[in-house]
Structure 1
Amino acid sequence: MSLEKLHLALTSLEEHIKNNSVSNSKISKSDIAWHIDHSLKVVNNVSLALQSSDPKTYKNNFSFLGKLFFTLGFFPRGKAKAPKHVRPPEVISKEDLISQVELAKANIDTIATLEKNAYFKHPLFGNVNTPRIYKFLSMHTNHHVKIIKDIMTK
């Protein structure tokens, strides 16, 4: 997946900021603001982890689960719990979402400048390096965009 697809996914998140307080307990325990905030925290934290990683220490330990989900092209719902550092706060303001979107757009543009083996450690997938990162971030962001769309329509 490409940088363009990731930009489109971020644009979709951005377009739903106006619906931040909408919720639908049949679809998700969390409201739209939570899904947007979490998705943006993942993009921004992963980008920072890539930038601060040491490519010389990269080991290709990409797990079977990672390969499976990357082949399928999506993540199943309700199977994983967000790590603490990418969980949204209790109160999420529209202003904070807007600033996180702007930061995410800037951060993903820096990924192309990184070494091939810049990486971050995913709790289930193992090390995810630069060649895999756009696909990972696109899949993760689109996972939450689909949930947001379902919250809006069901």
Structure 2
Amino acid sequence: MTPQNKLSDYIKTLESYIPQHEFTNPKVSESTVGWQIDHSLKVINNVCLAMQSSDPNTYKKNITLVGRFLLTLGKFPRGKAKAPKHVRPPEVIEKADLINQVANAKKNIETINSLPQNAYFKHPMFGHINKKRVTRFLEIHTKHHLKIISDMTNK
């Protein structure tokens, strides 16, 4: 399975939870299933857009030790990081908005392969993440939130 296929499958799984977007399980998370979906999609879409508009000539090989470790480990610890403002969901999460974000995410991940090798986005804790590592980052991040959703819904 190619990385884009795995990420594509994760997006489809996020999409399958949209009917449960208002569901909460305070034993697992203070947020709703919709919050988890919205945040995951915002990250995918914002990362892809940032990479598309990045200047590969300004890429710096400055990925942090923490970033390298977590990308190698393949998972993020729960409850240790706070989502930056631009990828936080709104107070009210609309089903139609989630559906629209899913469509955008499906299109956006298709652009990754055509980007220059040093297209990148700047992660607040990991440093610059270029094309080589971006799909892995998005897979791990999305899988992290899918696990939270699964635990919330007991699936």
Alignment TM class, shorter chain as reference: over 0.9
Aligned to 2:65: 64
Structure 2 gaps, min length 5 = none
CA RMSD between the two structures? 1.0
Name the residue aligned to 2:94. Answer: 93
Q: Which amino acid aligns with 1:105?
A: K
Whole-angstrom CA distance in 2 between matches of 1:116 and 1:61:
15
Q: Which runs of 5+ in 1 are unaligned?
A: none
Name the residue aligned to 2:149.
148
Specify the code of the residue in structure 2 equivalent to 1:65: V
Deviation at 1:71, TM superposition (A): 1.2
TM-score for both structures, normalised by structure 2: 0.97
Moved over 4 A (4+): none
Q: TM-score, normalised by structure 1?
A: 0.98
Deviation at 1:42, TM superposition (A): 0.3
Deviation of 1:132 after TM superposition, in Å, equals: 0.4
Superposed counterparts of 1:2-151, under 5 Å: 2-151=3-152
The count of corresponding residues between Structure 1 and Structure 2 is 154
The 2-side partners of 1:5 and 1:12 are apart by 11
SS at match of 2:140: helix
Q: Percent identity?
A: 57
